[in-house]
Amino acid sequence: MKGKHKMKTFFILLMLLTAGGCAAARRCEMAESVMFHADFENGSADSWWMTDPDAWRVETLGEDRVFSLYRQSEYTPPVRSPLNMALIKGPVAGSFVLEAAVQSTTKDYGHRDLCLFFGYKDASHFYYAHLGKKADPHSHTIMVVDGKPRTAISDTRTDGIPWDDKWHKVRLVRDITTGRIEVFFDDGKKPVMTATDDRFAYGRIGVGSFDDTGRFDDIIVRAIPDK
């Protein structure tokens, strides 16, 4: 759990010292504001809506409490799209930065994944970043669900995410003025995937997986003022 404690300290310092920060280098002049933070230390997931509440729980790991997707959701989406979603009930964001500590807890295979959801309008209209072990047409890419089965929209991406059983950091930057989407993994300076799409400017944000399990903690959403 050492790495996890280090990440928790990192996120707390980030909130205290950079309630401003920058969404991306090109927008450093725009101050950000924290609009949501969840560390689950109160043992509650009341701030979240889930496709299957029975698949999620707050677990105690050592001195920490974390949000755990511990089994497959009993959920049938209207079109081909992820099964395991937990969406923030609170603020609906336009331009934002999402940061979280994440841990994959599933077996190791090519499509091992965790997902970040955003621009969520309803079950048939939203975006998600699929952080997959190996890139292929349906893995490790930014997807849009727009009234039909998910479609990849990435402009760039790496070969995949080196998932193991450790905790990692993820960051997603969404700029609705340009349609730009960037996803970062751990301390990487370059995004592991990018896309440009403007069809869903505002929508809910969340975490989960297509069909795997995982844990999430220290989830922070910062709003970026629109230009």
Reduce the DSSP state of residue 14 to 3 states and report it: helix
- Prediction pTM value: 0.87
For residue 143, give the CATH number of its domain.
2.60.120.560
Distance in angstroms (rounded) separating the CA atoms of residues 211 and 114: 9
Q: Mind giving me the DSSP string for 23-86?
A: SSGGGTTSPPEEEEEE--TTS--TTEEES-GGGEEEEEETTEEEEEE-S------SSS--SEEE
pLDDT value of residue 225: 84
pLDDT value of residue 5: 52
CA 175 to chain centre: 15
Q: Say which amino acid occupies 196.
A: T
Structural domain harbouring 137? 2-223
Tokens of 203: 């929508």
Number of domains in the chain: 1
Distance in angstroms (rounded) separating the CA atoms of residues 117 and 88: 10
pLDDT value of residue 201: 93
| H or E stretch covering 121 | strand 113-122
pLDDT value of residue 10: 44
pLDDT value of residue 14: 42
Distance in angstroms (rounded) separating the CA atoms of residues 164 and 172: 20
> How confident is the prediction along the chain (227 residues), in pLDDT tens digits per residue?
445 554 554 444 444 333 333 444 334 334 579 999 999 999 999 999 999 999 999 999 999 999 999 999 999 999 999 999 999 997 787 999 999 999 999 999 999 999 999 999 999 999 999 999 999 999 999 999 999 999 999 999 999 999 999 999 999 999 999 999 999 999 999 999 999 999 999 999 999 999 999 999 999 999 998 66
